[in-house]
A and B are shown apart, each in its own frame.
Chain A
Amino acid sequence: MSGGAKLPVRVAEVVEVNELIKRFRFVSRDGSDLPAFSGGAHVVVEMDDHGTRRLNPYSLMSDPEDRSAYEISVRRDDQGRGGSLFLHRHVKPGMEFVLSHPMNLFPLDNRARKHLMIAGGIGITPFLAQIAQLSHFSGKFELHYSARSKPLGAYMDRLSSAHPGKVHCYFDNQSQQINLKTLLATQPIGTHLYVCGPKGMINWVLSTAESMGWPKLALHHEEFLAPGTGKPFEVQLAVSGKTITVGTAQSLLEAMEAAGVDAPYLCRGGACGQCETNVHKCDGTILHRDHWLTPEEHAEGCKIMPCVSRFEGKTLVIER
């Protein structure tokens, strides 16, 4: 079975954090401890949305040393494909779910002298777990957290009071912005930078840091892509001998799964590389949406990441 071993859990608590964000607490169904994880890890939540199977990745935000439960925070996306709407509208305490084991594509580099964290909106969630982890061994960190407005700045109060002087908040509706150049110019040697938030923010932070001489290996980011919607398209699966149609609100990976094909995956957000698939024939254009393949690989068109990428054209044959 692709995606690794699964964790059967039950929803213990649902909390409305603000008008856009809800927090869900999962405990194991048999009351045993959940597997350990490290700050920055995510789980894939399997949902049965009235017959539609949804598997969405969410960063774990709870203290990695607390194995009694996992907590995630989900921002409602009214224009999304429906995963967050399902969680917000239909999930109640007591409901049973299946989670993937935690996996970490955004870990702290604990060789760092200091950890500089930059969060935008719901991108705060992996930092909550990382900060809890660092607090256990007095790791040095500084958080710069932007939100649209004060009411939408989830967990800002809790973070500010627990870590006075280390948490800096910015509000778009008060035209406040991180003074990035000064911030990056004044970090002690051996600092590692972590950024999670909207794509534009990640690109801005990474490109500014690189232009100021920060080495790539000291720069860490995480961005889960929702698969996105598009026109339906047909794909031939060479190994399985099947031809499938990918629907408007469906990913290629989901369409393969719906057709009974056990395709590999881990993050389902274009980040981890697990679902990389060879393209046998392509008469048309692959709409690459991942950030796993290199720009050269995107141009070559010999590989596709079925979790987020789509196709437009006549024929697509892939090795699956």
Chain B
Amino acid sequence: MKTSLTPVDAPSIRSRPVYAVLESRPASLHLIVADGEGADAVVEMLDKANDRSGMLAAAHVMYTPGPDGADHGAALEAIGAAQFFRAPTIPSLLPRLQRVLLDAHMGTQFYLAGTEGLIGQAEREIMNTGFPHVAIQKEHRGSTVRRVQCVHCKGITENVATDPFKCSHCGLNLFVRDHYSRRIAAFQGVNIDAEDPGKVPESVVRFK
């Protein structure tokens, strides 16, 4: 059984997202969205960029601290992108991204870095414009906690660390699958004691 939580190749299941190291590519606008330790991935990409100053002059960076409180925003702000926006949370970052996408043109490059929750929700906004999701660059850094949808009540629980866990909406005991929905930007949680109610395996911390 595959144990890596941040696969870069051959995922355990086809829908399991795959990540890679960010690299700068030619673009009229570099749209960079990061949370927590994702800031480090962006800084490292810029250090390797052929045209660092040109890239920064056409870069719009949006940042929020990670779900575990990891805050590398100061280092990211210091790189000197044309625009830097700091949001307190992911839900308060996404309206900014939606607004920027309204006016963005083809020729924009997208760079997403940080937790899977941030990457998935930013990817969903970009994908909804019709932009091919495989052309969006994604690098996973930091916390591995998951955003999970209960397949029964459809409610989403953020920052799931244990498996199984109790759905924050309907209270069912959910097993966290690697099965992922890009449309919902969440992993799927399935009732683990449907056959024998109450017979729930001991909950272990799988995501940190």
**Chain A positions near chain B (C-beta within 8 angstroms):** 109, 111-114, 184-193, 211-218
Chain A residues with CB under 8 A of B109 = 213
**B69 in the interface (beta carbon within 8 A):** no
Minimum CB–CB distance for B148 against chain A, Å: 26
Q: Total A-B residue pairs with C-beta atoms closer than 8 Å?
A: 62
Chain B residues with CB under 8 A of A191 = 106, 130
Pick the contact of B135 from A114, A186, A187, A215 — CB < 8 Å? Answer: A215
- Is B106's CB under 8 angstroms from A218's CB? yes
CA distance A306 to B25 in the complex (A): 38
Chain A residues with CB under 8 A of B135 = 215-218
Pick the contact of B106 from A189, A211, A216 — CB < 8 Å? Answer: A189
Which residues of B125-140 have CB atoms within 8 Å of chain A's CB atoms? 126, 129-132, 134-135
Minimum CB–CB distance for A85 against chain B, Å: 41
CA distance A185 to B107 in the complex (A): 7
SS class, residues of chain B in contact with chain A: loop
**Chain B positions near chain A (C-beta within 8 angstroms):** 25-28, 101, 104-109, 126, 129-132, 134-135
Chain B residues with CB under 8 A of A112 = 130
Chain B residues with CB under 8 A of A214 = 106-107
Minimum CB–CB distance for A138 against chain B, Å: 15
CA distance A185 to B131 in the complex (A): 15
The verdict on A212 contacting B26 (CB below 8 Å), with A188-B106, A191-B106 known, is: yes
- Is A218's CB under 8 angstroms from B26's CB? no
| CB closest residue in chain A, given B128 | A190
Can you list 22 pairs linking A and B with CB atoms under 8 Å apart? A112-B130, A185-B28, A185-B105, A186-B105, A187-B105, A188-B104, A188-B106, A188-B129, A189-B104, A189-B108, A189-B130, A190-B130, A191-B106, A193-B106, A212-B28, A212-B106, A213-B28, A213-B106, A213-B108, A214-B106, A215-B131, A217-B132
| CB closest residue in chain B, given A189 | B104
CA distance A304 to B60 in the complex (A): 48
The 3 closest A-B pairs by CB, nearest first: A190-B130, A190-B129, A215-B135
CA distance A121 to B109 in the complex (A): 33
CA distance A185 to B25 in the complex (A): 16
- Is A184's CB under 8 angstroms from B107's CB? yes
Chain A CB count within 10 A is highest, among B25, B101, B106, B109, for B106
Minimum CB–CB distance for A31 against chain B, Å: 40
| A-B contacts besides A113-B130, A185-B107, 8 pairs, CB < 8 Å | A111-B130, A185-B28, A187-B106, A188-B105, A213-B106, A215-B131, A215-B135, A217-B134
- Is A213's CB under 8 angstroms from B107's CB? yes
- Is A190's CB under 8 angstroms from B131's CB? yes
| CB closest residue in chain B, given A214 | B106
The verdict on A213 contacting B26 (CB below 8 Å), with A187-B105, A189-B105, A191-B106 known, is: yes
- Is A184's CB under 8 angstroms from B26's CB? no
Minimum CB–CB distance for B146 against chain A, Å: 26
Chain B residues with CB under 8 A of A111 = 130
Minimum CB–CB distance for A66 against chain B, Å: 27
CA distance A218 to B108 in the complex (A): 13
Minimum CB–CB distance for A292 against chain B, Å: 21
- Is B107's CB under 8 angstroms from A212's CB? yes
CA distance A188 to B28 in the complex (A): 13
CA distance A184 to B107 in the complex (A): 8
| CB closest residue in chain A, given B26 | A213
Chain A residues with CB under 8 A of B126 = 189
CA distance A113 to B101 in the complex (A): 12
CA distance A213 to B135 in the complex (A): 10
Chain B residues with CB under 8 A of A109 = 130
Minimum CB–CB distance for A180 against chain B, Å: 13
Chain B residues with CB under 8 A of A186 = 105
Minimum CB–CB distance for A319 against chain B, Å: 31
